Amino acid sequence: MIIDPFHLKIVQSVYQTKTLVGASKVLCVTQSALSQAIKKLEKQLGVVVWEKSGRTIQLTTAGLFLVDAANRILPQLEQLGHDVKRLSSGVVGNLRIGMECYPCYRWIRQIIGTYLTDWPDVDLDILKQFTFKGMQALLNHEVDILITPDAVSHRGVLFYPVFDYEQVLVVADAHPFAGRTHIQPDDLKDQVLITYPIETHRLDIYKDFMTPNKILPTKHVYIEDTDILLQMVAANRGVSALPRWLVEEEQRQFGIAPVSLGDPGVFQTIHLGVREDPKRPAYQRAFLELAGAQLTE
């Protein structure tokens, strides 16, 4: 059977005050109402909760057991109510971010620290396993925010642009292309191309530069880790394509150089995708705004 928390409050108050008079004052309930409530509880449990001794009340073994339970359970219930209230107000929760952009891990580090400080009661999950199924994860409520360069129109989904970037070729300082301002698609025919493990039709260097000109590299190598990819390029084992801001950030450390893909170059935009929600939690809105999204909801 389910015990009403009010019954626990009664036995707890009686234990503390030793009298029905005191308990009724603490709970702001009449003595008769307290007696009726406990009689109902005793009937349900098949036990005696207390016994009167003059003007005082002595709790039985069952009553003391209920007091011990009340001391443990009632604070938890109070905290639960407090947490649910805070959850509904949007100041506590779990923010799940899906990454559909490998280099964006470097970008997101710039705002994570501030966000975690501003929202200490929000748990943050960065979900990498949805790198290639971002839209499906967003629609299935597996992520709350999708960081992606591919804003695909879909009913019930909003995309907010947060920053533009130029996708450039990355070469070692010793590579023949290093001193050039830009290259042409034909220049890649004799090159080993190193990219993240993404389908070629979604890679900017293919879909916006090579494929339209029917160009393929000599060899295509996949590497998932950014630092290892940059080390391979620095060792002149191949060339790659990354955002200019990332290359310039790592240029001195790795000995690499950016070269534009054609003239004027290949440019893209990173978007934050979210499900439409007129009651979006405050902690979600805060992240979107911190990342630079101009919200329309």
| pLDDT tens column, 70-109 | 899 988 888 777 667 666 655 678 899 998 888 888 888 8
- What pLDDT is recorded for position 292? 85
**pLDDT band of 234, cuts 50, 70, 90:** very high
| pLDDT tens column, 144-200 | 999 998 888 899 999 999 989 999 999 999 999 998 999 999 999 999 999 998 889
Residues near 251 by Cβ (< 8 Å), separated by ≥ 6? 257, 258
Q: Do domains 5-89 and 163-268 have the same CATH topology?
A: no
- What pLDDT is recorded for position 78? 82
- What pLDDT is recorded for position 74? 87
- What pLDDT is recorded for position 126? 87
- pLDDT > 60? residue 295: yes
5-89: CATH class: mainly alpha
Rounded to the nearest 10 degrees, how much is the dihedral formed by the CA atoms of 123, 126, 132, 135?
30
| Size of the chain in residues | 297
Unique residue bearing structure tokens 């979210």 = 274
Q: Select the more confidently predicted residue: 130 or 270.
A: 270
- pLDDT > 80? residue 1: no
- What pLDDT is recorded for position 24? 85
Exposed/middle/buried for residue 39 (C-beta within 10 Å: 0-12, 13-18, 19+): exposed
Supply 62's token pair. 């069952």
* The CATH number of domain 163-268, selected from 3.20.20.70, 3.40.190.10, 1.10.3720.10, 3.30.479.30: 3.40.190.10
d(CA 125, CA 262): 38
- For residues 97 and 147, the answer to whether their CB atoms sit within 8 Å is yes
Q: Select the more confidently predicted residue: 230 or 297.
A: 230
- pLDDT > 60? residue 252: yes
- pLDDT > 60? residue 130: no
Q: Name the residue among 190, 169, 142 with its Cα closest to residue 263.
A: 169
3-state secondary structure of 180: coil
> What average pLDDT is seen over the chain?
89
Q: Where are the domains of the chain?
A: 5-89, 95-161+270-290, 163-268
Determine which helix (DSSP H) or strand (DSSP E) holds 23, and give its type and residue range: helix 20-27
pTM for the model: 0.66
- What pLDDT is recorded for position 129? 61
Decide yes or no: CATH 3.40.190.10 for domain 95-161+270-290.
yes
d(CA 34, CA 179): 88
